Structure 1
Amino acid sequence: MNILEASKLCKTYGNKLNRQEVLKSIDVSVTEGEFVSIMGASGSGKTTLLNVLSSIDKVSSGSIKIEGNEMTSLKEKQLAEFRKNHLGFIFQEYNLLDTLTVKENILLPLSITRTPKKAAEHKFAEVAQELGIYDIKDKYPNEISGGQKQRTSAARAFIHDPSIIFADEPTGALDSKSASDLLNKLSDLNQKRSATILMVTHDPVAASYCSRVIFIKDGQVYTQLNKGGGSRQAFFKDIMKTQGVLGGVQNEH
């Protein structure tokens, strides 16, 4: 079943005299339980694509369906409600509230949806243990490492069991060990919970944890790679080869 189905997506900026096409009739679909990454060179449109798919930005034309709901026809208030209940977000910036503990930050989505306390506590314990941060639950963001902050951010994204999680360069601010720890945890959650994740990354190592990689070039889908039954190392080599053909993948747009 397709959790996300987007067709003929176009996004333009500027006016008639200075018009820039960032997305040019792109089709993207993500099935339930897939861990997919989007890669592309600077200016290719990969971040814009994630932003329109996740309803952070609006498309100029095209259709975006998440669990059958046509996102482009929803009003702003309906979109906010849909995001609150069905979408999870992990950004490069952790976006944690400094005045709240790790636990309180993670529980925020459930506070907003007024989930009963007992159910919220159970969900918290489960996701915090899965992400290896239960022991730091009473610490504040300024007392924990960057890797722990990003895992806290990930726990917050997963806690309300969203239909799909959008991750924008989630390892961008992390050292290699912290990045590897986070990606292993995301991969575990993807498998254990059949969680659907769509991630933008410039890092072929990060992309190799996914089951499929979509390469964007000049606002269009250039090609796709599937991991299949192969190893992560073999998939990494395939990603590197494709990246080489694209002329390098940098960290922007």
Structure 2
Amino acid sequence: MAAPRGRVVVIVALVSVLVGAVLGAAVVGVLAGQSTGDGAAQASATPEPGSIESIAAELAEGQRQESADLAEELASAGEVAHDLLGDVLVGLAAVVPPDDGSGATDLDAGAQADVEEWISALDQAEDALSATGQGNDDQAVTRAAFLGSVALLRSAVEDVAAAQASEPGRQQDLLADVGRDRLEAVSLWQAGGARLDSLVLETGGDHIHLFLDPSGDPDAVPEEFQNHADD
């Protein structure tokens, strides 16, 4: 069943605001505390076991490790979903070519829409992403962006099925919905992909590039964003 339109719009608005704010923020380095005496050397930079400072350091390290684990988990699920959505976009483009800018979008009578296969792929993508932890706000927003993209693409696929069974007059309205939902799905995925890349970098990982083109063609994605991860 397609996700309620109102919920998807809320997801898009939330992700646009939060992702933009986070991406524009500078990464602040946390410097270790230093103190100077009257010429005497500092005895030790390591907090005493059991002290407030030691407990705080342990908690901070635990949170850092948890964030790193969740970012890695989301990256793995994102790779799975990325490939599945790419396959759906390729199939969808063969049946309903992406808008060329003229505003014309038509069903290709020579192509077969395998709606059941596409829905199965989207189910797998949703399951992979839903199984990840939500983590902090940034991770939750990234996850929501990916899931929102899946929901929008599912709506586009269902509209293709409806268009193929509709009269010509109704087809054009449905195809307009297909084009809009496909573009919004890709845009929302790009926002999540950009944020995921930053999350992974912030936790000590390497670049991970999970970007899509409405056509599903990986070569249509800018070259610097084509690989899943940098070597």
Q: Same fold (TM over 0.5)?
A: no
Structure number with the bigger relative contact order (C-alpha 8 A, sep ≥ 6) is 1
TM-score if structure 1 supplies the norm length? 0.22
Counting strand residues as a fraction of each chain, which structure ranks higher?
A: 1
TM-score if structure 2 supplies the norm length? 0.23
